[in-house]
Amino acid sequence: MIIIGICDDEAVYRAQIKVLCSYYLDAQKQEYRFVEFASGEEVLAYQGDRIHLLFLDIEMPGTDGLEVLTEVRRNDRIWRIVFVTSHKELKWETVDLKTLAFLEKPLARIGVETCLKTVIRENRENINISYKTLKGTGYIRLDQIVCIQAKGNYVSICTEKEEIPGYDSIKVMEEQTKDTTMIRTHKSYLANLQYVDRVNGVAMQMTNGSSVPIGRKYYQGVKEAYFSFIKNVTIDRNR
């Protein structure tokens, strides 16, 4: 099941997006449901289940689409965003890790279908990571992890809100996250490229304000992985 959000102050555009989404998702036999919003304020007040893809109008009275993006960057209830507008000059203001695409009105079916295909694929790749606890086994989604740090006989799994102890080795966590956005940066650290704010020669600065060290032997691999990830997000995401 995926949840599709549609935010536009004009009902006619909300109806159009629903028709285009339904046409593709029904053909794929993908379970889905819609959540509609008539304003940016309604999106920010939303407390329901996680929205996998939000079609978001940029120009609306009150809180516009770009202001919504600023507020939901660290909001787990909105996973991915497609901006919808008549003004293509605003495109580069919408670039963000949450942003899948920028579509111009009137919407074309191929653009909507490409976004749906991408979010379904990325949601499938957003695997659950397991870790040992004193009471058994815990699970956390890959996109919730900022970094993982080895601390003696256990690891500390850092999210944007808390640190979770896991009674596993850093090697076990690395093996679980192989071929994902989690990369080894240091003998004691794994970092999630989804949360990197910037990279300098000795550390990755993360969006939650933490700093993840980069070991000398890992530097070249970290640099290549980071720039490959950025290229994928900004250029190739809708392959």
The answer on pLDDT for 26 being more than 70 is yes
**Would you say residue 232 has pLDDT above 90?**
no
Q: Which of 3-12, 66-75, 137-146 has the lowest mean pLDDT?
A: 66-75
In the numeric block, the tokens 């304003």 are attached to 39
pLDDT at residue 236 tops 70: no
Assigned CATH class of 128-236 = mainly beta
d(CA 160, CA 146): 7
Calpha distance 103→110 (Å, rounded): 10
Mean pLDDT of 79-106: 84
* Cα 110 to Cα 100: distance, rounded to the nearest angstrom: 14
Tell me the average pLDDT across 22-45: 97
Beta bridge pairs of residue 53: 4, 80
State mean pLDDT over 131-152. Answer: 95
Average pLDDT over residues 185-208: 92
Q: Provide the pLDDT confidence category of residue 108 given band limits of 50, 70 and 90.
A: very high
Evaluated on CA atoms 39, 44, 47, 51, the torsion sign reads: positive
94: which 2 tokens? 């919408």
Torsion of CA 15, 17, 20, 24, to 10 degrees: -120
Question: What are the residue boundaries of the structural domains of the chain, listed by start?
Answer: 2-125, 128-236
Q: In the predicted model, is pLDDT for residue 73 greater than 90?
A: no
- Rounded to an integer, the average pLDDT of 96-121 is 90
pLDDT greater at residue 97 or residue 105? 105
What pLDDT is recorded for position 149? 97
pTM: 0.78
172 burial level (CB within 10 Å; 0-12, 13-18, 19+): middle
pLDDT band per the 50, 70, 90 thresholds, residue 234: low
Looking at residue 235, its pLDDT comes to 55
Strand order, beta sheet including 51-57: 32-37, 2-7, 51-57, 78-85, 99-104
Write the CB contacts of 118 (distance below 8 Å, at least 6 apart in sequence).
100, 101, 237, 238, 239
- Quick one: pLDDT at residue 237? 59
Is the backbone peptide bond immediately before 61 cis, with ω within 30 degrees of 0?
A: no
Per CATH, the architecture of 2-125 is what?
Answer: 3-Layer(aba) Sandwich (3.40)
pLDDT exceeds 70 at position 175: yes
In a 3-state reduction of DSSP, which class is residue 88?
Answer: helix
d(CA 130, CA 121): 21
35, containing H or E segment:
strand 32-37
pLDDT at 87: 77
Q: What is the mean pLDDT of residues 49-59?
A: 96
